[in-house]
Structure 1
Amino acid sequence: MKLLMVGAGLSGAVIGRKLAEAGHDITIVDARPHVAGNCHTTRDAETGVMVHVYGPHIFHTDDAEVWDYVNAFETFQPYKNRVKTTSKGQVFSLPINLHTINQFYGKTLRPDEARDFIAEVADTSIEDPQSFEEQALRFVGPDLYEAFFKGYTIKQWGVQPSDLPAAILKRLPVRFNYDDNYFFHAFQGMPENGYTAMVERILDHPKITVHLETSFERAQKDQWDHVFYSGPLDGWFDYDLGRLGYRTLDFERFSYDGDYQGCAVMNYGEEDVPYTRITEHKHFSPWESHEGSVLYREFSRACEPQDIPYYPIRQVKEKALLADYVALAEQEEGVTFVGRLGTYRYLDMDVTIREALDTAAAFLAQGQATPAFVKAPL
């Protein structure tokens, strides 16, 4: 069949490759001048640093099949994400761990002592946390909440933590040992030559044709036997019911001769600091050595129509609108909505790849009867 992938990010690339290997003719279009979507990486011409153009992407998963898949197209170097945060004139480790607790409170607690101490300062009167704020207060108490979560969350989401659902902080990591690895997955790493090189290899197949800087119009759908669409779900319908809410990011780039902050990610938890974090990109490739450094301050704000959407808000009104768009989408024929934008869900890279593999498998089993959503957005 003649199949179209709208978007040359992870979803379009992985689905396209699987279906090309099965003998289908694949066309991939992307409005941007590069492949790999928001995980696009490129070498900075001045310093040689591998830059994550749309913000850092760190690969972590427990899915062995997905780990094997990405390693078939790119060598992944070991990488541990060790995040720091500046608060109250000090630098602390995140996620909250035994070192963070002892440093913050000026103590030398052992693990069992720290566990008892946090239980004492936590607000145990909150039995069933309903908001982000209640969830944080229930598990770490007011002091750690104020220092590390409140200001950062207000800046990131543009609303008070009391107005956000508890689910955003559902798995609040608090460790009563000195483990400062931000993630806990079995497989963690960074692609040696960047994500764009990996996606380019995934797309390197004789039955795949890629057209960059090429827009897609819904009216073109009938030119293909089936379309896999990874653009905004509401965009497919020309935003007829209104726009789904997103947060976007502004990046303020600056350079430094040497090592600016000694780590890849430095959060700023206080509300009066306008940016959420500073990322120093040479630290995402610790196997390389660079004298110069490339850094970005990140500012979060409401997404306007001309902006790149990053984080789906998914509060009550957005979910209601999403349900209406899902109902419309399920009436469509010959199109399957995929990925972060197509299903209006925040997806890590490994989940995006897993769902792309599952979507390709569903199409190979069902053909044009493949539903609008292989993974339901609601």
Structure 2
Amino acid sequence: MNRYLIVGAGFSGAVIAERLAKNPDNFIVVIDEREHIGGNCFTERDSETNVMVHKYGPHIFNTDNIEVWNYIQEFCQMMPFVNRVKTIFNGNVYSMPINLHTINQFFEKTLNPTEAKDFIKSIADNTIDVPSNFEEQALKFIGKDLYEAFFYGYTKKQWGCEPTELPASILKRLPVRFNYDDNYYSNPYQGIPKDGYTAIFEKMLNAPNIKVNLNTKFDSKWDVREYDHIFYTGPIDSFFNYKYGRLSYRTVFFESSITNDDYQGNAVINYADPDVPFTRIHEHKHFTPWESHNKTIYFKEFSKETEEGDVPYYPKRLAQDLEKLVEYQKEVEKLDKFTFLGRLATYRYMDMHHVIAEALEIHRQFIKQ
């Protein structure tokens, strides 16, 4: 009997557990310090409205990886969903990501796609060759006016620092479109599980050779001698008791409200004005348009620096963070029978489909050993 310990019951840990459990000679223990499975993808129905709530913020599944798309559908019925994000700036509502409608509305023009491309080229900062930070990347892409309207204030609220301190790579996930496509994602496979995400994890972890222990915190002092291998998905700096210092994350918190009917008419609306303290409002009934609800629940989302006891969301990956990360990675290489995987354990920004793809590949490589 092979015994495995998996630290973390989010997608990284659940996928590894589900794959290992296919072999009846394996016994898998999954632990999580929270009181529930699912990590930040945890969903539950609100007791007053019966709306399915994404407790840690909206999660829309989207991928270009057919293997991942087929895999996730083994555990759920994925309903079609298009995320059409709106942004409020200076009293007007715009479509995001920036598209032809956004450009024409903002500049009060009626440009066609070719004219819009030429126009954006004319206002972009062509003096920037290789952008060294977020702000330069934006200025090179879209110019000063669009950057200051849609990205400067929102980004400063989201990340808690000047955009010049952030890597240029963050903005590469935000395309500019020269048509009227307002689908926030460009991946071909998109949807939301009909019964929420928690039901997926329940099915993944429902095997006789998987044991789940919640409210159980792991640290490097654990006696792991009884396990043949440990898959760790928690924060890499926490594992080593922050010996090289804390890696910086942003976290988010929410203010929820309930009202009748429909609050904002859309799932997600961003607030780009810097004097508005929250970054966005998400109204969760709109993530399940196949359901009908008389009441609605919505959340104002605020961003702040992660402190002890907070749930880390977004790795900032500033220069000083990456220096610390190198030292932590050296420590990982010294460990025997440990695999670090997932967003927190590798200190990377990863969407759900990236996490699942990584876990599937790690399992494939592991069983070849």
* TM-score bin (small chain): over 0.9
Q: Counterpart of 2:292 in 1: which secondary structure? A: coil
Counterparts of 1:63-78 in structure 2, within 5 Å, are 63-78=65-80
Question: Does residue 183 of the first structure (1) align with residue 188 of the second (2)?
Answer: no
Q: Shift of residue 327 of structure 1?
A: 0.1
Question: Does residue 223 of the first structure (1) align with residue 216 of the second (2)?
Answer: no
Counterparts of 1:133-282 in structure 2, within 5 Å, are 133-218=135-220, 219-282=222-285
Q: Shift of residue 155 of structure 1?
A: 0.4
Report the counterpart of residue 290 of structure 2 in structure 1.
Answer: 287
Uncovered stretches (5+) of structure 2, i.e. residues with no partner: none
Task: Report if the CA contact (8 A) 2:84-2:182 is conserved.
Answer: yes
Q: Counterpart of 1:336 in 2: which secondary structure? A: strand
Q: Counterpart of 1:223 in 2: which secondary structure? A: coil
Q: Shift of residue 127 of structure 1?
A: 2.1
CA offset digits 1:248-286 (Å, max 9, x no partner): 111111112111111111001111111110010111111
Which amino acid is 1:254 matched to?
S
Instruction: State the distance in 1 between where 2:29 and 2:134 align.
Output: 43
Change in CA separation of 1:178 and 1:289 when aligned onto 2, cut-off 3 Å = same
Q: Counterpart of 2:169 in 1: which secondary structure? A: helix
Report the counterpart of residue 330 of structure 2 in structure 1.
Answer: 327
Which amino acid is 2:206 matched to?
D
Question: Does residue 18 of the first structure (1) align with residue 19 of the second (2)?
Answer: yes
Counterpart of 2:89 (choices 72, 75, 87) is 87
Q: Shift of residue 156 of structure 1?
A: 0.7
CA offset digits 1:169-206 (Å, max 9, x no partner): 12441111000001110100000000000110011111
Normalization by structure 2: what TM-score?
0.97
CA offset digits 1:109-162 (Å, max 9, x no partner): 111111111111111122222121111111111111111000001001111112
Instruction: State the distance in 2 between where 1:293 and 1:258 align.
Output: 6
Identity %: 55
Q: CA RMSD in A?
A: 1.0
Task: Report if the CA contact (8 A) 2:5-2:230 is conserved.
Answer: yes
CA offset digits 1:292-336 (Å, max 9, x no partner): 111111111110111111011111100000000000111001111
Report the counterpart of residue 32 of structure 1 in structure 2.
Answer: 34
Which amino acid is 1:81 matched to?
N
Report the counterpart of residue 357 of structure 2 in structure 1.
Answer: 354
Which amino acid is 1:154 matched to?
K
Q: Shift of residue 216 of structure 1?
A: 2.2
Instruction: State the distance in 2 between where 1:137 and 1:239 align.
Output: 36
Which amino acid is 1:185 matched to?
N
Instruction: State the distance in 2 between where 1:240 and 1:116 align.
Output: 52
Uncovered stretches (5+) of structure 1, i.e. residues with no partner: 367-378
Q: Counterpart of 1:79 in 2: which secondary structure? A: coil
Q: Counterpart of 2:269 in 1: which secondary structure? A: strand
Q: Shift of residue 9 of structure 1?
A: 0.8
Q: Counterpart of 1:221 in 2: which secondary structure? A: coil
CA offset digits 1:90-111 (Å, max 9, x no partner): 0000000011011111111111
Instruction: State the distance in 1 between where 2:126 and 2:34 align.
Output: 50
Counterpart of 1:344 (choices 344, 347, 352) is 347
CA offset digits 1:5-62 (Å, max 9, x no partner): 1111111111011111023111111111111000000001111100000001110001
Which amino acid is 2:224 matched to?
K
CA offset digits 1:213-236 (Å, max 9, x no partner): 122243222221111111111111
Report the counterpart of residue 372 of structure 1 in structure 2.
Answer: none
Normalization by structure 1: what TM-score?
0.95
Which amino acid is 1:14 matched to?
V
Instruction: State the distance in 2 between where 1:80 and 1:172 align.
Output: 16
